[in-house]
């Protein structure tokens, strides 16, 4: 299995070796799109996708995602980054340049419920989630056999309120050793400390099993049942130090009715959770998200 996945990734890297992406945030003013387009033209790059958004054309914030093909990009990376700085300085941009063939490395954290983990690994196996997944970390051993069937190392680190600092120290050490770019909390039922969150700022994606801002915290389906809701949902968001208050990436809902018990809500909710988390992870992996305050712009 792992050999087939590696072959797919190698083919993808070969096909995208000349492809780059730029994410831009700055104050809106005339000439931004023209300047970026001219820069890429001057560097023999062809724009293949471009999206932009302004909160207000008069003094608002401007956001842009642009994808391009540039012949010989592998040998021109440093030059592109160096030359773009002049435009970025002129427009006072916050910007990131990504090279598509450099696959991001994701670590998945999970506890006892495995439905989100399974969905992520199946998407990874079939080539629709093009990233490297060097390891899965869990505070329980339930996922060990399933994860290792994909050829992925599984690390069991018991974590609780009593040993949280020690557990996170081990986790962070592993993330550093494996050169992890972002973390996915696939129903990992532990609260992260500020130290952990700051180590991966805007690079920790969580799935919360309710349609935020409703039912923040633990047991949201039980509280939804008690409230008699007619819709249940799931929310994927970036993790901050405020519990379930981070910038929302994606949400979805499913209709329920008075016949559904709490367990029915949970069963239906898992369906929504899986799809919402996968979409959020893919968008992050494809450099489609720009965080603006406590909101996101998703291209």
Q: Which of 49, 75, 142, 244 is catalytic?
A: 244
User: What 8-state DSSP symbol labels residue 271?
Assistant: H
pLDDT of amino acid 4: 87
Indicate if the pLDDT at residue 15 is higher than 90: yes
Taken in order 264, 266, 272, 274, is the CA torsion positive or negative? negative
pLDDT class of 185 with cuts at 50, 70, 90: very high
Nearest to 255 by CA among 207, 212, 214, 211: 211
- Which has the closest alpha carbon to 152: 193, 180, 191? 180
Could you confirm whether 222 is annotated as catalytic?
Answer: no
**Share above pLDDT 70 across residues of the chain, in percent, rounded to a whole number:** 100
Q: Supply the pLDDT for residue 274.
A: 97
pTM of this prediction?
Answer: 0.94
Q: Which residues of 148-186 are buried (b: 16+ CB within 10 A; e: fewer)?
A: eebebebeebebeeeeeeebbeebeebbeebebbbbbbb
Closest-CA residue to 208 (of 121, 147, 298, 269): 269
- E-strand spans in the chain? 19-27, 46-54, 61-69, 94-99, 105-110, 132-138, 154-156, 182-185, 204-208, 231-238, 248-255, 289-292, 295-298
Is residue 215 predicted with pLDDT exceeding 80? no
198 φ/ψ sector (left φ>0, alpha ψ -120 to 50, else beta):
alpha
* Structural contact between residues 104 and 181, judged by C-beta atoms closer than 8 angstroms: yes
Do 184 and 111 meet the contact criterion of CB atoms below 8 Å apart? no
Beta strands in 111-230 (DSSP E): 132-138, 154-156, 182-185, 204-208
Are 68 and 19 in contact by the 8 Å Cβ rule? The answer is yes
Residue 139 clears pLDDT 80, i.e. is over it: yes
Question: Which tens digits make up the pLDDT trace of 81-132?
Answer: 999 999 999 999 999 999 999 999 999 999 999 999 999 999 999 999 999 9
Q: What is the CA radius of gyration of the chain?
A: 21
Per-residue pLDDT, 39: 97
* CA neighbor of 234 nearest in space, from 187, 190, 299: 187
What six digits make up the tokens of 273? 């959770």
Q: Evaluate if residue 40 carries a pLDDT over 80.
A: yes
How many of the other CB atoms lie within 10 Å of CB of 81?
A: 14
pLDDT in tens, 232-261: 899 999 999 998 899 999 999 999 999 989
Share of the chain above pLDDT 90, in %: 84
pLDDT for 220: 86
Q: What mean pLDDT is predicted for residues 136-160?
A: 96
């Amino acid at each position: 299995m792992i050999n087939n996945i590696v072959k797919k990734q190698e083919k993808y890297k070969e096909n995208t070796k000349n492809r780059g992406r730029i994410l831009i945030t700055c104050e809106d003013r005339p000439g931004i799109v023209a300047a970026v387009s001219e820069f890429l033209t001057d560097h023999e790059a062809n724009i293949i996708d471009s999206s932009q958004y302004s909160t207000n054309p008069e003094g608002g914030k401007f956001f842009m995602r642009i994808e391009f093909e540039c012949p010989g990009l592998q040998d021109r990376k440093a030059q592109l980054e160096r030359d773009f700085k002049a435009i970025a300085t002129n427009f006072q941009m916050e910007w990131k340049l990504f090279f598509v063939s450099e696959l991001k490395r994701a670590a998945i954290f999970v506890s006892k419920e495995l439905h989100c983990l399974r969905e992520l690994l199946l998407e990874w196996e079939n080539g629709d989630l093009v990233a490297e997944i060097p390891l899965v970390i869990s505070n329980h051993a339930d996922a060990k056999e399933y994860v290792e069937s994909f050829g992925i190392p599984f690390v069991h680190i018991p974590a609780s309120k009593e040993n949280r600092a020690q557990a996170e120290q081990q986790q962070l050490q592993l993330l550093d050793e494996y050169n992890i770019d972002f973390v996915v909390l696939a129903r990992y039922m532990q609260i992260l400390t500020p130290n952990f969150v700051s180590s991966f700022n805007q690079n920790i994606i969580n799935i919360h099993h309710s349609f935020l801002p409703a039912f923040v915290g633990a047991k949201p389906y039980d509280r939804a049942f008690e409230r008699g809701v007619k819709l249940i949902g799931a929310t994927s968001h970036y993790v901050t130090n405020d519990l379930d208050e981070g910038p929302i990436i994606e949400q979805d809902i499913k209709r329920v009715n008075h016949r559904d018990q709490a367990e029915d809500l949970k069963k239906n909710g898992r369906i929504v959770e899986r799809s919402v988390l996968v979409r959020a992870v893919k968008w992050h992996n494809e450099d489609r998200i720009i965080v603006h305050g406590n909101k996101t712009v998703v291209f």
